A and B are shown apart, each in its own frame.
Chain A
Amino acid sequence: MAQLKGWREIPIGGVIVEAGNAVEYKTGGWRAFRPVFGQAQCIHCFQCWLFCPDSSILVDAENEKMVGFDLDHCKGCGICASVCPVNAKVIRQAGEKVNRDDPRLCIRMVEEGKAE
Chain B
Amino acid sequence: MSKYEALTGDQAVATAMRQINPDVVAAYPITPQTETVEFFAEYVANGEVTTDFICVESEHSAMSACVGASAAGARVMTATSSQGLALMWEVVYIAASYRCPIVMSLVNRALSGPINIHCDHSDVMGVRDSGWIILFSENNQEAYDNVIQAVRIAEHPDVLLPVMVCQDGFITSHAMERVEVYDDADVKAFVGTYRPKQSLLDVDNPMTYGALHFYDYYYESKRQQAEAMERARRVVLEVADEFNRKFQRNYGLFEAYRLDDAEVAVVVANSTAGTAKVVVDNLRAQGLKVGLLKPRVFRPFPAKELAGALSHLKALAVMDRSIAFGYLDNAGPLFVDLAAALALNGIHIPMADYIFGLGGRDIKPSEIESVYRDLLRVAETGKVERLVTYLSVRE
- Complex alpha-carbon distance, A68 and B18, angstroms: 59
Complex alpha-carbon distance, A108 and B211, angstroms? 32
Contact B213 A14 (CB under 8 A): yes
Tell me which residues across on chain A come within 8 A of B205, comparing CB atoms: 17, 19
Query: Chain B residues with Cβ under 8 A from A14's Cβ?
Result: 97-98, 209-211, 213, 217, 221
- The binding surface of chain B is classed by DSSP as loop
Name B221's contact: one of A4, A10, A17, A20 (CB within 8 Å). Answer: A10
Cα–Cα distance between A5 and B221 once the two chains are bound (Å) = 11
Bound-state CA distance A14–B71 (Å) is 12
CB closest residue in chain A, given B226: A7
Main secondary structure of the interface of A (DSSP, over half): loop
Residues of B within 8 A of A5 (CB): 220
Partner of B223, one of A7, A11, A13, A16: A7
Q: List CB contacts (< 8 Å) of A1-57 with chain B.
A: 4-8, 10-17, 19-20
Which A residues lie within 8 Å of B99 (CB)?
12-13
Rounded to whole Å, the gap between the CB of A49 and the closest CB of chain B is 24
Which residues of A from 49 to 106 have beta carbons under 8 Å from B? none
Cα of A8 to Cα of B97 in the assembled complex, Å: 15
Closest to A16 in B: B208
Interface size for A (C-beta < 8 A) is 15
A12 to B227, CA, bound (A): 11
A22 — nearest CB in chain B belongs to which residue? Answer: B208
Chain A residues, Cβ within 8 Å of B210: 14
Q: Decide: B207 and A15 in contact? CB cutoff 8 A.
A: yes
A contact residues vs B (CB 8 Å cutoff): 4-8, 10-17, 19-20
Q: Does B216 contact A (CB under 8 A)?
A: yes
Residues of A close to B198: CB separation below 8 A: 11, 13, 15, 17
Given contacts A7-B223, A7-B224, A7-B227, contact A16 B211 (CB under 8 A): yes
**B163 contacts the other chain (CB 8 A):** no
Chain A residue at smallest Cβ distance from B221: A14
Chain B residues positioned under 8 Å from A6 (CB to CB)? 220
- Evaluate contact between B160 and A13: CB separation under 8 angstroms: yes
Residue-wise, chain B 193-229 has the 8 Å CB interface mask toward A (1 for contact) of: 0000010000001111111010011011101100110
- State which of A4, A13, A19 has its C-beta within 8 Å of the C-beta of B98: A13
How far is A12 from B198 in the complex, measured between Cα atoms in Å? 10
CA gap between A82 and B217 in the complex, in Å? 36
Q: A7-B224, A7-B227, A10-B224 are in contact. Are A15 and B217 (CB under 8 A)?
A: no
Q: Is the CB of B220 within 8 A of A7?
A: yes
CA distance in complex: A4, B215 (Å): 11
Report whether A12 and B224 are in contact in the complex, using a CB–CB cutoff of 8 Å. Answer: yes
> A16 — which chain B residues lie within 8 A by C-beta?
207-208, 211
Residues of A within 8 Å of B100, CB to CB, are 13
Interfacial chain A residues near B207, Cβ < 8 Å: 11, 15-17, 19
- Besides the contacts A5-B220, A11-B198, A17-B205, what 16 more A-B pairs have beta carbons closer than 8 Å? A6-B220, A7-B224, A10-B220, A10-B221, A10-B224, A11-B207, A12-B160, A13-B98, A13-B99, A14-B97, A14-B209, A14-B211, A14-B217, A15-B209, A15-B211, A17-B207
Chain B residue at minimum C-beta to C-beta distance from A9: B220
> Judging by beta carbons under 8 Å apart, are B97 and A10 in contact?
no
Taking CB atoms, residues of chain A closer than 8 Å to B160 are 12-13
